[in-house]
Chains A and B, each alone.
Chain A
Amino acid sequence: MHAPAPKTLAPKTLAPKTLAPKTLKVRIWRGREEGSFCSYEVPARDNQTVLDVVTEVQRRHEPALAYRFACRVGVCGSCAMTVNGVPRWTCRTHVAKVAEAGAITIEPLRNMPRIKDLACDMRGFFDKWQKAGGRFSGTATRAEPPAKVDPANPRRRAADAAIECINCAVCYSACDVVSWNEAYLGPAALNRAWTVVNDERHALRRTTLDLATGEGGCGNCHTQGSCMRHCPVGISPTESIAGLKRMSLLSFLVRDRDAAEAPAGARAEAEEAPA
């Protein structure tokens, strides 16, 4: 009896180590509103983020390049830029996922004045956060025990779904309505307003709802969904804005008793609150 012949294994074909080009072409906006794209070439590396690329350009090619970053790990949201036409956190964007034919184009976020290169002026964005009534105003003093909030309460759950916004302005940059209407408060500010109108400890719920539904408020949203599509933390400002629209309609038809009990003069107090 013959033993079966041992199988001969075909020699393995080694896959090429990498298909990526050795260099990456980068176009970066230089200047303010008037400016132009400058091109650079940096080494293409594995696990390279867009922020790594910007840092490499600044350290090796263009020391005067202005850009913002802080944590570099997707916590602070300060490194948001427009990469190949899409607003993103550059620290959490791998070059391999966004490069087109070995090239990327980096610009500052849209819808905000450009200060220099990749840095934009975010004051208007943060001011709108206040204009939408996003400042929390408690109903209790420090001397009182903490409020007992039921986490299963539908309003609390609605607030929880929207509370993790870190104001990176990616949604604001992605929104075309912000581009078309300067008065529009934008998705981030309205998302914040939605969290506080659902917070039972907030004393100025009626005021916030009035501000969020007034001029430049939620009624301007066309439900394009770009804010929701591009939010790096998976929040849905579109949903929050829809909630505000629904709440304003309901409060018009059946006046919200809780909100109506906001202290007298609360609106004036909110409007005078410092930014």
Chain B
Amino acid sequence: MSGHRRHQAYWAFIGHRLSGLALAAFLPLHFLALALALQGAAALDEFLALADMSLFKLAEWGLVVLLAVHLFFGARLLFLELHPWKRAGDSRLGWIVPSLLAAFLIGAVFAVRVV
């Protein structure tokens, strides 16, 4: 990554953007699954059978982590934009790593309950 981008806030931007794009890519699949219900129970059951595959469960775990990353990084941005900054330049960089840890913690809880 180019020199001027090597800092925490930029990594947070990348994380927020990539997680958002991945979630946006997931949404059509989500709606497709829901739409299968309109075609009858058999079509939906056939699709849901895929959900028992290990690869599918891994993808679900990734989805949960991405959702959590997007939520926490988005909350930081909203806080920065809606709340007056206490000190000049205090862009809440200290929230970034805990946000990631919290996202993976949520992912761990999900993995324990699902697997």
Give chain A's interface residues, CB within 8 Å of chain B: 82, 84-87, 110, 161, 173-174, 176, 222-226, 228-230, 234-236, 238-239, 242-243, 245-246, 249
Contact = CB atoms under 8 A, between A and B. Distances in A.
Q: Is the interface of B mostly helix, strand, loop or mixed?
A: helix
B88 to A, nearest CB: 5
Contacts of B4: 82, 85-87, 110, 173-174, 226, 229-230
A224 to B, nearest CB: 5
Interface stretch (B21-29, B43-51, B59-67, B76-84): B76-84
Contacts of B113: none
Contact of A86 (B3, B8, B82, B85): B3
* Chain B interface size range: 10 to 19
A234 B89 contact: yes
B7 interface: yes
B95 interface: no
A61 to B, nearest CB: 25
Contacts of B3: 84-86
A269 to B, nearest CB: 30
A222 B73 CA distance: 12
In the A-B complex, list the 4 residue pairs whose CB atoms are closest, starting with the nearest: A85-B3, A225-B9, A86-B3, A236-B89
B91 A239 contact: yes
A225 B95 CA distance: 14
Contacts of A243: 84
B9 A223 contact: yes
Given A87-B4, A230-B4, A224 B88 contact: no
Contacts of A245: 81
A229 B81 contact: no
